[in-house]
C-alpha cells in the first residue's frame, strides 16, 4: 500500500468518497466545508449522471475500506485543507473520482 487508505479518512470524507464510488458519474452540489472537513448536515445535493453505452455500476472499490486513495482524491482533500472554509458549488466526478470542482470561499 502506498498512500493513504480510505479507512484513514474522517467519516464525512469517507462518505464523499463512497457517494462518488456508488454513483460513478455525476456531481455533488452545495457541499459546505469547515476547517477542511465536509459538513453533511444538511446533505449536499447529489446528481447522478448516466453514461449511455457505459458501465454505470458502482465502483468495486466501494466495498474495500482499506483501498488506497487515488491521486485525484488526495488532491481534492488537500485543496479542502488549504481552503479551510467555503462551499463547493459543484464537484464533478467521473469513474468514481473527482474530476473538477468550483468553490466559493468565505
The residue-averaged pLDDT of 38-43 equals: 96
Q: Report residue 45's pLDDT band, with 50, 70 and 90 as the boundaries.
A: very high
Q: Is residue 40 part of a domain?
A: yes
Q: Total domain count for the chain?
A: 1
pLDDT level of residue 54 (50, 70, 90 thresholds): confident
pLDDT of residue 106: 61
For residue 66, name the pLDDT band (cuts at 50, 70, 90).
Answer: confident
Confidence of residue 64 (pLDDT cuts 50, 70, 90): confident
Residue 86 located in a structural domain: yes
29: helix, strand or coil: strand
Examine the pLDDT at 3 and tell me if it is beyond 80. no
Query: Could you count the other beta carbons within 10 Å of the beta carbon of residue 88?
Result: 24
Is 1 among the domain residues?
Answer: no
Supply the pLDDT for residue 93: 97
Can you give the residue range of the structural domain that contains 54?
6-105
Q: Is this structure's pTM higher than 0.75?
A: yes
Mean pLDDT of 61-75: 91
pLDDT of the residue at 65: 80
Amino acid at each position: 500500500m502506498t498512500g493513504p487508505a480510505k479507512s484513514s479518512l474522517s467519516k464525512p470524507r469517507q462518505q464523499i468518497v463512497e457517494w462518488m464510488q456508488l454513483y460513478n458519474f455525476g456531481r455533488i452540489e452545495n457541499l459546505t466545508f469547515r476547517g477542511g472537513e465536509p459538513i453533511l448536515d444538511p446533505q449536499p445535493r447529489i446528481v447522478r449522471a448516466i453514461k449511455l453505452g457505459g458501465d454505470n455500476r458502482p465502483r468495486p472499490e466501494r466495498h474495500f475500506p482499506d483501498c488506497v486513495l487515488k491521486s485525484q482524491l488526495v488532491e481534492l482533500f488537500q485543496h479542502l485543507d488549504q481552503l479551510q472554509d467555503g462551499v463547493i458549488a459543484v464537484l464533478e466526478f467521473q469513474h468514481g473520482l473527482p474530476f473538477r470542482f468550483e468553490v466559493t470561499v468565505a
